Structure 1
Amino acid sequence: MRPQEVRGLWLGLLGVAIFALTLPMTRLAVGTPDAPQMSGVFIALGRAVVAAALSALFLLASRAPLPDRKDWPALAITSAGVVFGFPLLTSIAMRNVQAVHASVIVGVLPLATAAVGAWLHRQRPSAGFWTCAALGSALVVAFALLKGGGLALHPADLLLLAGMVCAAIGYAWGAQLSQRMRAEHVICWALVIALPLTLPLAWFTLPRTPMPPAAWWAFAYVAVFSMWLGFFAWYRGLALGGTVRVSQVQLVQPFLSMMFAVPLLGETLDGVTLAFALAVIATVFIGKRMPVRPQTSQEPA
């Protein structure tokens, strides 16, 4: 493996370690149904505003050029996925599910990212790849039904699954942009272009009552690290090591999230949750090894 690829893997792992704290910190900031703290909408949009302010300073300090006209649509899609979609959906959901529970849902993210990336780069995943994708998704749904105690998915689980789709889209388009732009500039521009929407909405949903310091510390983490610095490492790692190779380090994210949730939130990790997490990760690991062929020029895009 080339030194550049090794560096990409380590940067990717750093990004994943930072992202792994996102769900526990979000849970700490939004509270529980019995003891609510900040609203999920404020957590999602407020953290984007803080990160956008830091991004504007960074873009000025690094004398970043304006993105090419052809890159604006991809930046808009990246922003929709990782600035709006994923943060909003997961922040709203986290008041109603424990971080350990949500970590199992996150287990499908590597496979979802690979699927979106394959479509974006006009590749043809094998039948084995799609079989693993379907099995992993079925395991996640089965876990949500089992833990929900009914025959219908809890609305929070549906929000988490939709959030995984948004994250996969934002990761895939952001990784593609990182081949043409500085990886750090990708997330910065995605945040800055969203500011006309995030700033007024965050102000409108700003907490009007005092919040405990722990909630504000958790908010600060997701704003500075989850929404900003984590993407510096993540997109740089994808650019250096390749999306397919580096995205595999996401396999450790559910387990890191669980490890952080137990001491931070006092949650428990039972055998059923761990078994489902291992099964989902196994499908992702096997699916990553299934062949993905380039699409021929005769085939439709």
Structure 2
Amino acid sequence: MITDNISKDQMVSGWINGFIGVLLFSGSMPATKLAVTEMSPLFVTIARAGIAGILALSVLLIYKEKRPAKHQIFSLVLVSIGCVIGFPLLSSLALQYTTSAHSIVFLGILPLMTALFGVLRGGERPHPIFWFFSVAGSLLVIGYAVSQGISASPVGDILMLAAVILCGLGYAEGAKLSKTLGGWQVISWALVLALPLMLPLFFIYFPVDIANVTFQGWFGLAYISLFSMFIGFIFWYKGLAQGGIATIGQLQLLQPFFGLALAAYFLHEQVSLGMVGVTIGIILCVAGTKKFAKSLIKK
């Protein structure tokens, strides 16, 4: 067992990059809701991965990046399954059964999933008190959802839970790989791996009533293709690699509340004012995880 010493500068950079990533991801569920309201969830998933994949391939070619090593391919496949296909598809399907405000609440479990996979796949060993704050933050988010009394669909909840599990795996795997391959390179190669599948499916599932899609629908698709699927990951993976998967991953506890604010503003979905008090509690939990995650131990 050896101690993985993360410098103060690395930690600060990690928190900054991670926070920017969370801000960009916060618009994902409301934007996806806009898109799936007018287009099928399957097409939205294919289109966002295809558009981001073409952008990623272009950037890789411009910078003449070397191909990943053979031993890195498996990790990239896991990132692709979790973040490029799994989470986008399952969350899009879930939004057919529930509101974006309700689905956003499930993102409160995502930091815990990311930390768990960080232990399983990344070999991280946070301080025991770290887990207290991590679980407390997740319970605050879940408790807030219950107190809101939001009507839920069992199908939608199961789909969101599966989406969050796959996303946590993709986050942790991508962060581990970012340390050797680079943050933007990881998501770029993961998108490129999915491109041969996405391009044919794009034309197969292209909607016949595409002319009826409004500006809001196109805006939602554009946002999740550019920011949720590509640009956000550049900051997110870099932050996870710099500050640690389990540590920086706790910033995701703030994502549901940014997302709920956006859902309330743009989609006019009802959000309780109690969100303010819970947000303060979440910030305290994030601060706690930050303090007690300084000494990470790697296998």
Range class of TM-score, shorter chain: 0.7 to 0.9
**Mapped pair 1:23 → 2:29:** yes
For residue 187 of structure 1, report the CA deviation from its aligned partner: 0.4
Look up the match of 2:60: 59
C-alpha distance in structure 2 between counterparts of 1:217 and 1:181, whole Å: 32
C-alpha distance in structure 1 between counterparts of 2:177 and 2:239, whole Å: 13
C-alpha distance in structure 1 between counterparts of 2:206 and 2:214, whole Å: 14
C-alpha distance in structure 2 between counterparts of 1:218 and 1:276, whole Å: 28
Look up the match of 1:184: 184
For residue 250 of structure 1, report the CA deviation from its aligned partner: 1.8
The answer to whether the Cα contact below 8 Å between 1:9 and 1:246 also exists between their aligned partners in 2 is: yes
Q: 1:66 to 1:136 in 2, by over 3 A?
A: same
1:33-54 Cα offsets, whole Å, 9 max, x none, are: xxxx111111111100000000
For residue 104 of structure 1, report the CA deviation from its aligned partner: 1.4
1:221-270 Cα offsets, whole Å, 9 max, x none, are: 11011101111111122223332332232222111101111111011212
Superposition map of 1:113-192 within 5 A = 113-123=114-124, 154-192=154-192
Name the stretch that deviates more: 200-209 or 141-150: 141-150
Look up the match of 2:241: 239
Question: Whose helix fraction is larger, Structure 1's or Structure 2's?
Answer: 2
C-alpha distance in structure 2 between counterparts of 1:268 and 1:278, whole Å: 20
Q: 1:231 to 1:80 in 2, by over 3 A?
A: same
Q: 1:25 to 1:17 in 2, by over 3 A?
A: same
State the one-letter code of the partner of 1:117: G
For residue 158 of structure 1, report the CA deviation from its aligned partner: 1.1
C-alpha distance in structure 1 between counterparts of 2:133 and 2:141, whole Å: 12
TM-score, scaled relative to structure 2: 0.84
State the one-letter code of the partner of 1:78: V
Look up the match of 2:13: 7
1:49-88 Cα offsets, whole Å, 9 max, x none, are: 0000001100000110010110000000111000011000
Structure 2 unaligned blocks of 5 or more: 1-6
C-alpha distance in structure 1 between counterparts of 2:23 and 2:130, whole Å: 26
Look up the match of 1:34: none
List, as ranges, runs of 4+ consecutive aligned residues in structure 1 with deviation greater than 6 Å. 125-150, 272-285, 287-293
RMSD between aligned alpha carbons? 2.9
Name the stretch that deviates more: 53-62 or 201-210: 201-210
**Mapped pair 1:262 → 2:268:** no
Look up the match of 2:206: 206
1:255-288 Cα offsets, whole Å, 9 max, x none, are: 1101111111011212567777777777777677
Q: 1:142 to 1:153 in 2, by over 3 A?
A: farther
1:121-170 Cα offsets, whole Å, 9 max, x none, are: 335567766677777767777777777788x9621111111111111000
The answer to whether the Cα contact below 8 Å between 2:114 and 2:246 also exists between their aligned partners in 1 is: no
TM-score, scaled relative to structure 1: 0.84
State the one-letter code of the partner of 1:233: F
C-alpha distance in structure 1 between counterparts of 2:199 and 2:274, whole Å: 41
Aligned pair count reads 290
C-alpha distance in structure 1 between counterparts of 2:284 and 2:154, whole Å: 25
- Identical pairs, percent: 36
Structure 1 unaligned blocks of 5 or more: 32-36, 297-301
C-alpha distance in structure 2 between counterparts of 1:81 and 1:15, whole Å: 17
